[in-house]
Structure 1
């Protein structure tokens, strides 16, 4: 809908991003979606348990649709038996167990349970394979162009892969589209079957950052990965670090990225979706004015102390003549920093304006004729 300029390209008064020891990484602002720092962000890498973020997203969307609730009960099959996952993370569920969706979600999101992931996949889609097709459909819809899932949990398999950029896209979607599901990522521990497991995201305990999610991942092929979201004042950042050498390294590298972003950048919402921007004259309509608006939140991320220098320009089509349907493009909003265009977005009609009656159209035609005539003279 609009073009995004890399935030670091706007000014050279900030230091370069820190050196990050990982196969690939990205630092993205949640509100604007702008990339603050990245390396190999579109390289396809093994996702490991980052896969469970999509499993959680699908669960959240099923709850959003009303087809399922957190209180629903799931019967555990032999396919989801924890014994099927030796030497890997699990919730320790057994065949025949009756477990709520809420608790299985915690088994997936807090304990990183491979068994819980299979249980929810079967409950939602009948089989894990069908659920994987659903995961990939959502990935396509979200624009995750470098992602393919082959199971619900992320253990290494042929063709499974994702990228740091795609994981950042999924993170924004989790936070925006499924907030009740996302809130579970903030829980520091969960007990099931008499076994208490701590959330593997150690940054939840970090006092230097306000971290409220998201997910760790590890296999021997993937290395140690971590997707993190943290807030400071009105700003939320998402970091994705994939393929580090150790648990400690994924924490350190994520902390470095988030600290850099919060220290040197800031984000402002320029316009909120559907908020009135201006009133515009409409000719030959049942109403003489309509409201101009934008269809989504427009935010911008810039180096600190640069937002005050941003200038906005609003241009409208003229003359505006009825009929005009809600959502029709009637102009353009542009934000500049010096000579650089930061954003260009369509301005649209907030309501529908039907054609006016015969005499209203006739009167407006006369007015418009003389208005154009005077404009040409002066």
Structure 2
């Protein structure tokens, strides 16, 4: 039988009225598509056509990098492993759009290819990496689509490793790009830090024999405090786009802008958007790490329930100007909230396992969903425990 969804509503302290919350601060952008999310609370701070399907241009390279990161973490790919630029690949990509300037027959390490993709946006580097990992680019694209399915990027599809126009086969949405950016940062923090914030990278030689050094195209890197990634994109069809992230005082935002008309517009809009996200909003604490929020019913376990606790310090994102401290951390006021889970939750359960969510609904804002985890292990019930549970379930229907 499919588990039922349990929703336990409760208030902490005194419920705040909508008047206690400032209105969502205004922002206007010339970008056709825009999206911003606070990774700490899950709050969506801004959205403009977030689910509009659009060509990603080089923003697709974020998924190429994500696939490589996953293989590196699993041990199936090494940073010092080298792949060779084939003559056919060189002929097609050595001067097609952005390039890393890899020579025909040249061997390049995975680490250098990743720098060539992220920092230089090299179309040639993407294809060399794809062919080196999977044998052919189409086989690698299958890996890209497997990962986007795992991430729940249901409004996206990939047809190339570098986002080159392919008659609409490749498309993404701003919401899906934000999901990909967040997954990259959460799942591969060390690799993200190692590769995404390089200000420049040099590869190849000029006709005179000088090193070819190119700047990172990230429009907020070095211009917004805490900016450390991710990726720009541009084609005539897609316009100018950017997916970016920055962290200030432990608070991380992810933003997406797309469909802009020029390089300068992308720079100005991206800087303004990210600065607005940090200046117009702030985090307010709800519960400290380890705080028990509720309990969940357990099926077939050595215990009939398990505590639901905060896996880290939980906070809600609110407009600047909202006073007071929220939640039990300081005994203050809090917005309406509820715990939601599919249950009863089947044993066994491991301590720290994500089994429920805390849904917080600040008046005048979209709900913010925060994870809750099991407080302790719950083993499976023994033989007599299962018999007793069956008897109780039988009589519960009488």
TM-score by length of structure 2 reads 0.75
1:248-305 CA-to-partner distances (Å, cap 9, x unmatched) read 10111112221221112123564688x46279899xx978996543679855322233
Task: Report if aligned partners of 1:171, 1:238 keep a CA contact under 8 Å in 2.
Answer: yes
Task: Report if aligned partners of 1:147, 1:163 keep a CA contact under 8 Å in 2.
Answer: yes
Moved more, 49-58 or 296-305: 296-305
User: 1:293 — aligned with what?
Assistant: 309
Q: How far off is 1:211 after superposition?
A: 0.9
User: 2:207 — aligned with what?
Assistant: none
Query: Looking at both structures, which has the greater relative contact order when contacts are Cα pairs under 8 Å and sequence separation is at least 6?
Result: 2
3-state SS in 2 of match to 1:167 = helix
Task: Report if aligned partners of 2:96, 2:123 keep a CA contact under 8 Å in 1.
Answer: no
Moved more, 126-135 or 333-342: 333-342
Q: Identify which of 112, 115, 120 aligns with 2:129.
A: 120
Residue 310 to residue 87, structure 1, CA distance change in 2 (3 Å)? same
Residue 356 to residue 315, structure 1, CA distance change in 2 (3 Å)? farther
1:242 aligns with 2:222: no
3-state SS in 2 of match to 1:238 = strand
User: 1:204 — aligned with what?
Assistant: 221
3-state SS in 2 of match to 1:240 = strand
User: 1:326 — aligned with what?
Assistant: 349
Residue 52 to residue 271, structure 1, CA distance change in 2 (3 Å)? farther
Q: How far off is 1:334 after superposition?
A: 6.2
Q: Identify which of 130, 143, 150 aligns with 2:152.
A: 143
3-state SS in 1 of match to 2:60 = helix
Greater Rg, structure 1 or structure 2?
1
- Runs of 5+ unmatched residues, structure 2: 8-17, 205-210, 327-332, 389-398
Task: Report if aligned partners of 1:286, 1:357 keep a CA contact under 8 Å in 2.
Answer: no
Task: Report if aligned partners of 1:48, 1:219 keep a CA contact under 8 Å in 2.
Answer: yes
Q: Identify which of 286, 292, 295 aligns with 1:277.
A: 292
Q: Identify which of 186, 201, 206 aligns with 2:197.
A: 186
> 1: distance between equivalents of 2:355 and 2:47?
36
1:61 aligns with 2:42: no
> 2: distance between equivalents of 1:26 and 1:16?
15
Task: Report if aligned partners of 1:332, 1:345 keep a CA contact under 8 Å in 2.
Answer: yes
> 2: distance between equivalents of 1:357 and 1:146?
46
3-state SS in 1 of match to 2:221 = helix
3-state SS in 1 of match to 2:273 = helix
Q: How far off is 1:350 after superposition?
A: 2.4
3-state SS in 2 of match to 1:81 = helix
Task: Report if aligned partners of 1:76, 1:94 keep a CA contact under 8 Å in 2.
Answer: yes
Give 1 or 2: higher helix fraction: 1
Q: How far off is 1:343 after superposition?
A: 5.2
Task: Report if aligned partners of 1:75, 1:96 keep a CA contact under 8 Å in 2.
Answer: yes
Q: Identify which of 34, 48, 53 aligns with 1:25.
A: 34
3-state SS in 1 of match to 2:196 = helix
- Runs of 5+ unmatched residues, structure 1: 4-8, 363-378
> 2: distance between equivalents of 1:152 and 1:21?
29
State how 1:12-51 maps to structure 2 within 5 Å: 13-14=22-23, 16-51=25-60
> 2: distance between equivalents of 1:187 and 1:345?
32
1:134 aligns with 2:158: no
Q: How far off is 1:342 after superposition?
A: 5.4
Residue 351 to residue 311, structure 1, CA distance change in 2 (3 Å)? farther
Task: Report if aligned partners of 1:310, 1:335 keep a CA contact under 8 Å in 2.
Answer: no
Q: Identify which of 62, 76, 85 aligns with 2:85.
A: 76
User: 1:366 — aligned with what?
Assistant: none
> 2: distance between equivalents of 1:169 and 1:28?
10
Task: Report if aligned partners of 2:35, 2:48 keep a CA contact under 8 Å in 1.
Answer: yes
Residue 71 to residue 314, structure 1, CA distance change in 2 (3 Å)? same
1:206-251 CA-to-partner distances (Å, cap 9, x unmatched) read 1x43211111111111111111111221211111110101111011
1:255 aligns with 2:264: no
Task: Report if aligned partners of 1:324, 1:354 keep a CA contact under 8 Å in 2.
Answer: yes
